[in-house]
Amino acid sequence: MKKRFNQSLCLTLIIFLVACTARNNTPTPKNRHPSRQLPPLSQDISLLLTLEMQAISKAMMELVPAIATADWQKISDIGSQIKHSYIMRHQLTSQQRQTLQRVLPTDFKKMDFQFHLTAGKLADAAEQHNRELVNFYFYKMNEACSQCHSQYALARFPGFLKSENNSFDSHAH
Ligand code: HEC
């Protein structure tokens, strides 16, 4: 009698678990892709954004051999350059800057801020010749790229739609 009870309990549990898994595997746009949109940006601002993205991309690629060869000075220089932002901050007129402040979503600004902060931490770690920390912050910076793109550049980078481990879902609500 007890055995049968256990068996049916077990079965119920299995059905429950299967149901849960099936539910989680069902891609619903709402919980899988917290796509957020940037407001339409004027052409000049949009161009600056593109230029900045290309510059940080290049800088990230230069970091790879610099880290691999323990070129602390170079890592630190690149980190500081990124921290202080390549183009956006220098080339924006004060009016453009105000507009950006106003129109950019808070979350986007936070991510951008965090990214530049991490670049600064990478520079600090390089100054301390701390290999492990340098690698850690390099990883964090890469993570920041995909985090922001997976939310604000989905149309441009649709690969994120197929990304299973969208760890940013928790912020989507
Ligand atoms: C805070 C948000 C944010 C962060 C952080 C970020 N990006 Fe972007 N990135 C964008 C947006 C928005 C676009 C524009 C997408 C579009 O064209 O619709 C973009 C576009 C790009 C492009 C395309 C540029 C082109 O030629 O049009 C590249 C390359 C790129 N990002 C690289 C990076 C790399 C590498 C990192 C990290 C080291 C990074 N981005 C971090 C928001 C971000």
> Ligand 1, closest atom to CA 144?
5
- Cβ density class 70-88: b for 16+ within 10 Å, e for less: ebbebbbbbbbebbebbbb
Question: pLDDT-derived band of residue 24, with 50, 70 and 90 as boundaries?
Answer: very low
156 Cα to the center of ligand 1, angstroms: 9
- The residue whose C-alpha atom lies closest to atom 26 belonging to ligand 1 is 50
pLDDT surpasses 90 at 119: yes
Q: pLDDT digit string (tens) for 33-43?
A: 556 788 888 89
Q: Give the start-to-end residue ranges of the domains of the chain.
A: 41-171
**Alpha-carbon torsion, ordered 119, 120, 122, 128, to 10 deg:** 170
> Cβ(8)–Cβ(124) under 8 Å?
no
What pLDDT is stored for residue 93 in this prediction?
Answer: 86
Question: pLDDT-derived band of residue 29, with 50, 70 and 90 as boundaries?
Answer: very low
Distance CA 160, CA 158 (A): 5
pTM here? Answer: 0.79
| Residue where the block lists tokens 């932002």 | 85
CB atoms within 10 A of CB 122: 27
Nearest Cα to 64, choosing from 146, 129, 141, 145?
141
108 Cα to the center of ligand 1, angstroms: 12
Domain 41-171: top CATH class: mainly alpha
Q: pLDDT digit string (tens) for 61-106?
A: 999 999 999 999 999 999 999 998 765 667 788 888 888 888 889 9
Question: pLDDT-derived band of residue 135, with 50, 70 and 90 as boundaries?
Answer: very high
